[in-house]
Structure 1
Amino acid sequence: MITTNDLYKIGRLKFAMVYLMSTSGTTSLTRESLLGTVANRDFIDLVSSQMAFPGSRGKGLPILRVSTPLFTAHIALQGAQLLSFQAKGGKPLLWTSPNCDFSPGVALRGGIPVCLPWFGPHPTNPKLPKHGFARNRDWQLTNAHCSPSGEAELVFDFDSPADELFAYSFSARLTMTLGSSIKLNLSITNTDTHSFDCSWALHSYYPVSSLNEVRVLGLSGKIYLDNLEQHAVKNQYGDVDFHAEVDRVFPDINNDIRISGSPQIQIEHHNCPSVIVWNPGHINAAKIVDIGAGHEQEYICVERGAVLSEKWTLTANETRSAWMKIKAI
């Protein structure tokens, strides 16, 4: 006997098949893996970017909508990018630009992009894409489950053969644990026969109610490299504020970071020594197509990772891992 719930699952599967077949940004292997993972999990739906973000721009991308008694979230398969998260009864903890371009291969402006296998401009070839290429390619959802309490765990895998962009093969796994908070665990494995250097960051965009009033706590007295002055070494006096453009890399930060404003957010970590703080300011925001004039007032980036001199050197077959946790306080 076919129940109403069975029909619902069949309907979801048919929609997923039709949508994925019409989306150029997914390979047949990704489709097969994704359909198998989503079909029997009632807490995950596959929707279009237009459905997830009404009025959004671009050709469209498949988005996972995850909903449990504890939270709702949206995740792009491209880049395994968590785009939105809101605990039940709480405020949104992530910002996605209203001008984000949801087109295959285009970097998505907002949420938590995974910058890998390099952060910022390529260290030797400025013609290569900024922040690497992992955020521009599809990851595979290889596992997903939800506990009775409503906490969900989703596992995304990425395999990258050696090519013209990066001369070494590697794989990466991003495990998202979502409930009343966000926890992202990133593992990178050198699948090549030679050692290589890689830098990476979880490039988090956080919403703010007032850019003039928000502060980043936990960095006072620390040394930073000023990206606005060719990595000039400076001291941070007091909490970080945003009365003008800010682009700073703080090395060797072991403590937790807090965002004081609305919402108030605490960022915990393991093995993420670098902190990057960024807001383009009003002049640059107007020049960035997927941000736009005035929208710099809506967010700040406080990122954790391993960049510049803190990059990872991975020997053949070596795996290294790090995690970041985000929660409202």
Structure 2
Amino acid sequence: MTESGDIGGVRHGLVHGFEAIVVETPAATAAVSLFGGQILSFVPAGHDEVLWVSPLVAAPPTPIRGGIPVCWPYFAREGQSDDVPSHGYARTARWALTGSRTTENGDTELELAPEGLDHLDLTVHMTVRVGATLTQGLHTHNPRLAAVTMTEAFHNYFKVADVRRVHVEGLRELTYIDKFDDMRTHTQDGNWSLPEDSGRSDRVYPDAGGTYRIIDPGLRRSVEVTARGGRSAVVWNPGEASASGMADVGSHWREFVCVEAANVGPNRVDVPAGSDHSLWQTISVTQIH
């Protein structure tokens, strides 16, 4: 890997008020915040912004609402006590760019790692590859002498015209755990859409297929998420009532849907001593008519 100054199209900048690594290529532009290692923007050539970041976003140390939060080494507070930060330590850590390169096909690839997490049992670093598609890899290493159990997610916030008018393919007939229904299990009937009765969704789909498509007629596009090493899918939108109590969402709840590549719930990961585990996702956009 080479330092970012050695390749074109990689620079430091401010995005949504956050210090970020900005990538500009003929195929796409993107930005990664150094607070949380969070991807804040991905705009493939010929398309509009793919990710949603709240216009009400707060300054650090409050976690960024939007983009792609990195939930690691646990999701929510699964298996943790109540005195730890929700969604893990990585999302509020300072991250550093450790290298960058141009791949054989002309994509720009960044390597980043968080700082100040030496007290944890696991270590982590991240790959972000920007081209016509966005590819992200989260790489966990266990340097200990015993196995460590973890959960994780790419908590993707996708920009939509109106969440009430979109649907998500790839989840049909899967069993899901409904966090808004006391963790009861149900079977997905058809494609996912925002439930009309409750107007909100917080569903974990264990052992999902790994490919999910957001069909958005308002923006006339399909956004596809393809996961590798991630057995779970999570689909979340708080709905109007819950969002009204969220200072960084409020009336903007219609503007996004979270479709997440994850290992959560029954799909927690046991990382053996001295071993590695990677979660990958690729995000692509197709125009529809």
- TM-score, normalised to structure 2, is 0.91
- Matched with 1:38 is 4
Using the alignment, how far apart are the partners of 2:281 and 2:270 within structure 1?
Answer: 20
Structure 1 counterpart SS, 2:40: strand
Cα deviation, residue 151, structure 1: 1.3
Cα deviation, residue 38, structure 1: 3.4
Cα deviation, residue 145, structure 1: 1.7
Q: How does 1:1-329 map to 2 (within 5 A)?
A: 37-48=3-14, 52-53=15-16, 61-103=18-60, 105-147=61-103, 150-158=106-114, 160-162=117-119, 168-242=120-194, 243=196, 244-261=199-216, 262=219, 263-292=221-250, 294-329=251-286
Structure 2 counterpart SS, 1:135: helix
Using the alignment, how far apart are the partners of 1:148 and 1:252 within structure 2?
Answer: 33
Cα deviation, residue 213, structure 1: 1.1
Q: Percent sequence identity over matched residues?
A: 28
Show CA shifts across 1:163-191 (max 9, x none): xxxxx422112111110011111110012
Cα deviation, residue 72, structure 1: 1.1
Using the alignment, how far apart are the partners of 2:138 and 2:80 within structure 1?
Answer: 25
Show CA shifts across 1:204-252 (max 9, x none): 0001112221001111111000001221011111111114110000000
Q: 1:175 to 1:239 in 2, by over 3 A?
A: same
Using the alignment, how far apart are the partners of 1:148 and 1:233 within structure 2?
Answer: 45
Using the alignment, how far apart are the partners of 1:86 and 1:302 within structure 2?
Answer: 18
Matched length = 278
Cα deviation, residue 111, structure 1: 0.9
Matched AA of 1:145: R
Tell me if the contact between 1:69 and 1:150 (Cα under 8 Å) persists in the aligned partners.
no
Using the alignment, how far apart are the partners of 2:159 and 2:114 within structure 1?
Answer: 28
Which has a greater percent of helix? Answer: 1
Matched AA of 1:42: G
Unaligned runs of at least 5 residues, structure 1: 1-35, 163-167
**RMSD across aligned C-alpha pairs, in angstroms?**
1.7
Cα deviation, residue 42, structure 1: 3.0
Cα deviation, residue 106, structure 1: 2.2
Matched AA of 2:162: S
Using the alignment, how far apart are the partners of 2:32 and 2:39 within structure 1?
Answer: 4
Using the alignment, how far apart are the partners of 1:253 and 1:214 within structure 2?
Answer: 20
Structure 2 counterpart SS, 1:272: coil
Structure 1 counterpart SS, 2:79: coil
Using the alignment, how far apart are the partners of 1:317 and 1:291 within structure 2?
Answer: 41
Range that drifts further, 38-47 or 217-226 = 38-47
Using the alignment, how far apart are the partners of 1:83 and 1:206 within structure 2?
Answer: 11
Structure 2 counterpart SS, 1:79: coil
Matched AA of 2:239: G
Tell me if the contact between 1:122 and 1:129 (Cα under 8 Å) persists in the aligned partners.
no
Bigger radius of gyration: 1
Cα deviation, residue 147, structure 1: 4.5
Using the alignment, how far apart are the partners of 1:124 and 1:144 within structure 2?
Answer: 35
Using the alignment, how far apart are the partners of 1:124 and 1:171 within structure 2?
Answer: 18
Tell me if the contact between 2:78 and 2:151 (Cα under 8 Å) persists in the aligned partners.
no
- TM-score, normalised to structure 1, is 0.80
Higher relative contact order (CA 8 A, sep 6+): 2
